[in-house]
Structure 1
Amino acid sequence: MSPSSQAEQPKVLSAVEDRMDELGAGIAQARRMVTLIKSAAEAERERVSLLFAEAAATLQRFQTEVLGFIEEGAAAMLGSSQGDLQRQEEQRSRLSRARHSLSQVPEADAVSFLQELLALKLALEEGCGPGPSPPQELTFTQSSQAVQTVRDALAAACTSQLEQLRGLGSDEDRLRKTDMKELQDPDSTDPLESEPPRDYFLKFAYIVDLDSDTADKFLQLYGAKGVKRVLCPINYPESPTRFTHCEQVLGEGALDRGTYYWEVEIIEGWVSVGVVAEDFNPQESYTRGRLGRNAHSCCLQWNGRSYSVWFHGLEAPLSQPFSPTVGVCLEYADRALAFYAVRDGKMSLLRRLKVSRGGGSAPAALLDSFQNCLDNYFVGLFRTRLKPAFFLESVDAHLQIGPLKKSCISVLKRR
């Protein structure tokens, strides 16, 4: 062995050891991931099996109740119809017997003839009363239509949900899923754990500065980040972009062809946060000019009691509790706008506005009116560039644009 080879051997061995250590760490991580995937799959199988069992039990109860409805309806109507049938058969038999008896009387026996004729007339009079009532509506025959409606709705819902499951790996949903290394405990039930952490969204951070040339005269700006509604009008200079009938203000710049994320802190009052088309007329009337009350804007509203989302004049209430900090994520390429509650670096989805996968093809019974409106009109909102927009509805409304740092700390003191 040459001296140079002997000198190189320690370096090679050291490199081999380092690589083996790296592979060992990678193997350990891969094993943990395999274990996590298997554990998560097994837990999900158990949950799905339980839900299918509950769904099957629900359908079984529905089947029992519908069949019972048919039996009860048929039994009630059969009792009446069979009674009518029996009475008519008995009357016919009496008439037949009386007619036969009359035909058997000798012509010379006038007394017997008169007696049998009288009996026939009495039998005839008994059958001359009002006939049976017309058949009632067979209400139980509507059962098959009801079951067919449930069947069609179930089939459509299953198809829709399966398509959503199969599409979870597509580009349009990439923002809403974590990397595999960020998988959470599958048994966790905390809704804040269902979204990627806040740091993930900060990769798309967009710095929003309020545009003073758009602020309504009843809005007081605090630099480029804070705004409060006031009672006394402010003498702003004339501007063609200034709102004149709605207490609204826009962010500077216009957004398109990308993903943008910003945060808003609701300090006080009723506040709406959203986006508006760049070419929207700021002189629009109060009724049509407010965020979400037209086809050119949409928003998340906090009304002091609960959240709701607005678009095209329609409102969809939300049940999530109040969060002072709201995250807004505009996915322009996917034609989507999502609102999040932000707490302690964790994200909780409030509502994601987007055209449904069916694009309005699902039965109307399966679509609420708000989603149906999104399916028909929401894409049109993205035909122009969009601007961050803010509506301060109550006289004490107060908000500021978040600093987008590790923690959302207000520069303005809370009252």
Structure 2
Amino acid sequence: MPSEQHLPHSLCLYLTEGSSPVSAEQSKVLSAVEDRMDELGASIAQSRRTVALIKSAALAERERVSRLFAEAAAILQGFQTEVLGFIEEGEATMLGRSQGDLRRQEEQRSRLSRARHNLGQVPEADSVSFLQGLLALRLALEEGCGPGTGPPRELSFTKSSQAVRAVREVLTEACASQGERLRGPGGEEEEDLRKLGTEADAESRDPDSTNNLESEAPRDYFLKFAYIVDLDSDTADKYLQLFGTKGVKRVLCPINYPESPTRFTHCEQVLGEGALDRGTYYWEVEIIEGWVSVGVMAEDFSPQEPYDRGRLGRNAHSCCLQWNGRSFSVWFHGLEAPLPHPFSPTVGICLEYANRALAFYAVRDGKMSLLRRLKASRARRSSTLASSIEPFQSRLDSHFAGLFTRRLKPAFFLESVDAHLQIGPLKKSCISVLKRR
């Protein structure tokens, strides 16, 4: 039997004083056990409800996702049917024309062959029959239809693959973007982005200094600040047709969009989703056709403003780069500054929030060529120097910094009836996904 010094105190009391203290201790322990079992029962019930809720929510989400994928597949299937029908229609039209030419030419050749054969069978002494055969050969030669139209200069249905390729690019970009949103950025990625933003801010602290964002630089440098722009359909004017979230074209017939308080009503404009308020952002736009303006607009700017004040760059709440079919220019607060640079179908936009600057670049062969960097210049003390500043820069000095007190959105204005643009995929090569005309 173990010594008393190794036994629990309550058991020692039992050995020395009887069973009454043990009964009290037993009641106390049993009571605590009962309380703990009640707590565990309630907790188990809650955990079971949580498990059931998770399973139910996951099942419902699976059903929603499956339904949406089925709808997306139906849309793609319908588009596939439309494209294949377009090819078949083009093929039938062109084949009908070409096969008709072929049939007429074969018939003429057959007539000529028969007439020539008949003429060869006439004896030379039979001059009357010979003249008749020669006349028949000449008539067969004259009644010919001439050469065919030849191969067509362009097969209209071959542009179908370009359209499908554009859809594939949009889907690929959208799937990658939404996949990243689902997974969320990792800690290292967030830290890298924070460091890049800090370095960029440090480089551009002096307003009049030159840095990588102001000079020619490899495109890879700007891709560190890449921002995925998706068009917001709730802001699109009724005369703008969206192609997914990346393409937009101005059309003649209005589109029956649903009512939205953020929709432009007097200007053919559309904004990007999401508002920007800190850091450095870079995106690219491909000008496919027409007069196009690209830039930024304050999130709180009223989309019901009239045409003269609501257009991109014609107010203090927005600024832009415009291509008017002949030349580039920049607009801010109703003033325009022409640019001497030649046309570039791909334009890069870099928004430096901490430095309160917006830069536009021509993108060619992996290189960035600065078109214009909009920024308020350092205050000048000399009134003589101040009076020599161009009106556009003076307007920037007075009002441009105020634009950055607001949350900004990528903005697009399609000015001409044939205007068409595409938000470029931010990849290593800058190759159009659509055919430029």
Which TM-score bucket, shorter chain as reference? 0.5 to 0.7
Letter in 2 for 1:295: A
Structure 1 residue 316 corresponds to structure 2 residue 306? no
What's the counterpart of residue 184 of structure 1?
none
Report the number of matched residues.
236
Structure 1 residue 273 corresponds to structure 2 residue 307? no
Q: Distance in 1 between matches of 2:334 and 2:299?
A: 19
What's the counterpart of residue 211 of structure 2?
177
Deviation at 1:393, TM superposition (A): 0.1
Residues 197-221 of structure 1: CA deviation (Å, up to 9, x unaligned): 1100000000000000000000000
What's the counterpart of residue 207 of structure 1?
228
Structure 1 residue 408 corresponds to structure 2 residue 430? yes
Residues 1:338 and 1:360: Cα distance change in structure 2 (over 3 Å): farther
Structure 2 stretches lacking a partner, 5+ long? 1-201
Residues 114-135 of structure 1: CA deviation (Å, up to 9, x unaligned): xxxxxxxxxxxxxxxxxxxxxx
Secondary structure (helix, strand or coil) at the match of 2:224 reads helix
What's the counterpart of residue 383 of structure 1?
405
Letter in 2 for 1:382: F
Q: Moved runs in structure 1, 4+ residues, more than 4 A? A: 172-176, 359-362
Residues 374-403 of structure 1: CA deviation (Å, up to 9, x unaligned): 000001111110000000000000000010
Secondary structure (helix, strand or coil) at the match of 1:304 reads coil
- Equivalent residues in 2 for 1:99-114 (5 A)? none
Structure 1 residue 333 corresponds to structure 2 residue 350? no
Equivalent of residue 248 in structure 1, options 247, 265, 269:
269
Letter in 1 for 2:296: V
Does the 8 A contact of 1:176 with 1:195 survive in 2?
A: no
Residues 59-94 of structure 1: CA deviation (Å, up to 9, x unaligned): xxxxxxxxxxxxxxxxxxxxxxxxxxxxxxxxxxxx
Secondary structure (helix, strand or coil) at the match of 1:376 reads helix
Residues 238-273 of structure 1: CA deviation (Å, up to 9, x unaligned): 000000000000000000111000000000000000
Letter in 2 for 1:287: D
Structure 1 residue 226 corresponds to structure 2 residue 260? no
Secondary structure (helix, strand or coil) at the match of 1:383 reads coil
Q: Distance in 1 between matches of 2:382 and 2:310?
A: 31
Deviation at 1:169, TM superposition (A): 6.0
Q: Percent identity?
A: 82
What's the counterpart of residue 394 of structure 1?
416
Does the 8 A contact of 1:198 with 1:346 survive in 2?
A: yes
Letter in 2 for 1:325: T
Deviation at 1:283, TM superposition (A): 0.5
What's the counterpart of residue 262 of structure 1?
283
Residues 9-53 of structure 1: CA deviation (Å, up to 9, x unaligned): xxxxxxxxxxxxxxxxxxxxxxxxxxxxxxxxxxxxxxxxxxxxx
Letter in 1 for 2:205: D
Residues 1:288 and 1:267: Cα distance change in structure 2 (over 3 Å): same
Residues 1:262 and 1:172: Cα distance change in structure 2 (over 3 Å): farther
What's the counterpart of residue 17 of structure 2?
none
Does the 8 A contact of 2:291 with 2:416 survive in 1?
A: yes
- Equivalent residues in 2 for 1:14-413 (5 A)? 171-172=205-206, 177-178=211-212, 194-358=215-379, 363-413=385-435
TM-score (normalizing by structure 2): 0.52
Deviation at 1:361, TM superposition (A): 5.8
Does the 8 A contact of 2:280 with 2:353 survive in 1?
A: yes
What's the counterpart of residue 46 of structure 2?
none
What's the counterpart of residue 13 of structure 2?
none
Secondary structure (helix, strand or coil) at the match of 2:308 reads helix
Cα RMSD, aligned residues only: 2.3
Residues 1:247 and 1:366: Cα distance change in structure 2 (over 3 Å): same
Deviation at 1:412, TM superposition (A): 2.4
Deviation at 1:358, TM superposition (A): 2.4
Residues 1:228 and 1:373: Cα distance change in structure 2 (over 3 Å): same
Q: Distance in 2 between matches of 1:170 and 1:299?
A: 21
Does the 8 A contact of 1:178 with 1:196 survive in 2?
A: yes
